Amino acid sequence: MTEKQIIECVPNFSEGRDQAVIDAISEAVRGVSGVRLLDVDPGPSTNRTVYTFVGSPAAIVEAALAAARTAHRLIDMTRHSGSHPRMGALDVCPFIPVCGVTVAECVKVAKEFGRRLAGELDVPVFLYGDAADKGDHRKTMPQIRAGEYESLEKKLQDPQWQPDFGPSAFVPRWGATVTGVRKFLIAYNINLIATKEQAHRIALNLRTQGRGNGEVGRLQNCQAIGWYLEERNMAQISINLTDFDVTPIHVAYEEALKDAAALNVPITGSEIVGLVPLRSLLQAADYYIDREGLFILEEEHKLQLVINRLGLSQLAPFVPKERIIEYCLAEGDPSLRSVGPLGRGSVAALVRGVAARTAAPGGGSVAAAVAALGSALGAMVGQLTYGKRQWEEHDAAMRSAIAPLHRAAFELLPAIDNDTIAFSKYMSASRQSASTASEEALKEAAVAQAAIETVLVPLGVMRSIDAVWPQLAKVAALGNINCRSDVQVGARCLETGAWGAFYNVSINLDNVIDESQRLLFSSEAETLLKKAQDGCRHVLSIVENRIA
């Protein structure tokens, strides 16, 4: 199965007040086949609108060009003013790899867009980020945009600032555009009841460059500025987090809280501009769960916690399905985005597929499904124990047991489809035609790799099962005794899943060419099966001793 190629494009246009212009650009994007417009976020004070859309490499370029053509017709930079730094009608147009594409492929996309934009509209275009190749002095947006639109005419006369594409001449109505490739940039605003000066003072303390006098700020990969929103009668610290793994959202928020408290000004919440990666919010959830000693399992509940702690719905409701990029791209239940159609479908559909006259889905998929149910039963019994007064002395033990069982249940679901996919890849590789020696070598390599995948999927199921026996034993020993049959069924399901996965490892080992790999896989599978048998016997004996 070939992974779909998806690139995100987040162009910033210098118009945030004229709804007709904003809508016209939106319609231009929507008019391109193969592209989904995910978000449109205008700002009257900044006089800027951020668009977010996704599509294939070819489609994303066409959509960005369509939006730019519309902006070229409707936006006049000679009349523009706003609180956000800017240098052009289409100020910046970054491309971000989402799935199935590399940074290098996105660089090609950005350069194609820049070349075509300059050629069609006769405007200057600069490259930044991973696409920049004319020196370190023009890698980042602050470097390129320094002086903004007002100094652009003079800047273009400097040999150091010749555009990558298009004319060096100043185009008054347009200005200049910057395009390139970057990681997910999180545009994040923190709301204060304060003055613009107080907000900016905090921003200077936080941002990486500090006050620009050699004294750096506290946060890395952080750009920040303070401004005042007249239409909302409040100040904001406007932050760009250019690497949220280095400086996560919650870190920026908590650091701003410290400075605001020192100035005796209140922070009343925050907002995310455009879309945000799910992982960045789950980072924040883990932080608050750990800090406050909370017990939260479901992804939905973790997101509710973050929305509350960061005040993300103060200015407008934060709707996860509309604001988290993985949710926007997911079909069906977003919490099952990594699960294929078999695992996501109904039990009846899975049974029907297994019962059909086809080799897949087969025993490997069934083994994964049964194991997932076994782990889920353990989590269920734990949750029917936790928080109940008669077993409250075991709350801590249940908290430690439930989370791994719950996690394993959902981690096993993708294997239902992955087993079928691995089998199909092996069969497809085996059927490749090869009329030359080089083609035969390529076929042999593809078959060998596919054979290993058919072993790794069921072996992964066995590893997941092995990890939860201690937790299931804890539930068996301390959990709600009225649910003992559920623990017993869960143990048998996990053991059956291990047996089913073992059988699939064994039969697929015949196709693995490398003898040393065969021996390693076989040894591990036999060890995991023995541990599953012992684990099941141990759990059942615990239950039996409790009711004896």
pLDDT tens for 75-105 read 999 999 988 899 999 999 999 998 788 999 9
Domain CATH for 27:
3.30.990.10
Q: Is 192 helix (H, G, I), strand (E, B) or coil?
A: strand
- Which tens digits make up the pLDDT trace of 289-298? 999 999 999 9
**Residue 192 in domain:** yes
At residue 1, the pLDDT reads: 38
Is 70 exceeded by the pLDDT of residue 3? no
The answer to whether residue 250 is catalytic is no
Q: Single out the residue in 141, 165, 181 at which a domain terminates.
A: 181
Verify that 325 and 239 share a domain, yes or no: yes
d(Cα 427, Cα 241) in Å, to the nearest integer? 45
At residue 287, the pLDDT reads: 97
State pTM to two decimals. Answer: 0.73
Least confident of 154-163, 395-404, 427-436: 427-436
**Domain encompassing residue 117:** 6-181
Of these residues, 91, 259, 417, 419, which one is catalytic? Answer: 419
In the structure, what pLDDT confidence band is assigned to residue 137 with cuts at 50, 70 and 90? confident
The b/e string for 4-42 (b: 16+ C-beta within 10 A; e otherwise) is: ebbbbbbbbbbbbbeeebbebbbebbeebeebbbbbbbb
Verify that 464 and 342 share a domain, yes or no: yes
Is 80 exceeded by the pLDDT of residue 278? yes
Verify that 169 and 244 share a domain, yes or no: no
At residue 492, the pLDDT reads: 97
Q: Single out the residue in 181, 210, 226 at which a domain terminates.
A: 181
d(Cα 498, Cα 468) in Å, to the nearest integer? 12
Q: Single out the residue in 299, 329, 359 at which a domain terminates.
A: 329
- Which tens digits make up the pLDDT trace of 195-216? 999 999 999 999 999 987 778 8
d(Cα 473, Cα 543) in Å, to the nearest integer? 9
**Cβ of 134: how many Cβ atoms within 10 Å?**
14
Verify that 86 and 153 share a domain, yes or no: yes
Of these residues, 84, 250, 394, 406, which one is catalytic? Answer: 84
The answer to whether residue 76 is catalytic is no
The b/e string for 482-518 (b: 16+ C-beta within 10 A; e otherwise) is: ebbebbbebbbbbbbbbbbbbbbbbebbebbeeeeeb
Verify that 175 and 213 share a domain, yes or no: no
At residue 331, the pLDDT reads: 64
Name, in order, each residue with C-beta under 8 angstroms of 98's C-beta and a sequence gap of 6 or more. 6, 7, 8, 54, 325, 329
In the structure, what pLDDT confidence band is assigned to residue 334 with cuts at 50, 70 and 90? low
CB 461 within 8 A of CB 525: no
At residue 488, the pLDDT reads: 97
Q: Is 322 helix (H, G, I), strand (E, B) or coil?
A: helix
User: How many domains, in total, are found in the chain?
Assistant: 3
At residue 2, the pLDDT reads: 45
Is 80 exceeded by the pLDDT of residue 332? no
Is 90 exceeded by the pLDDT of residue 60? yes
At residue 541, the pLDDT reads: 97
Verify that 190 and 177 share a domain, yes or no: no
**What is the residue-averaged pLDDT of the chain?**
92
Verify that 284 and 417 share a domain, yes or no: no
At residue 212, the pLDDT reads: 77
Percent of the chain predicted with pLDDT > 90: 75
Verify that 167 and 199 share a domain, yes or no: no
399 vs 213, higher pLDDT: 399
Percent of the chain predicted with pLDDT > 70: 98
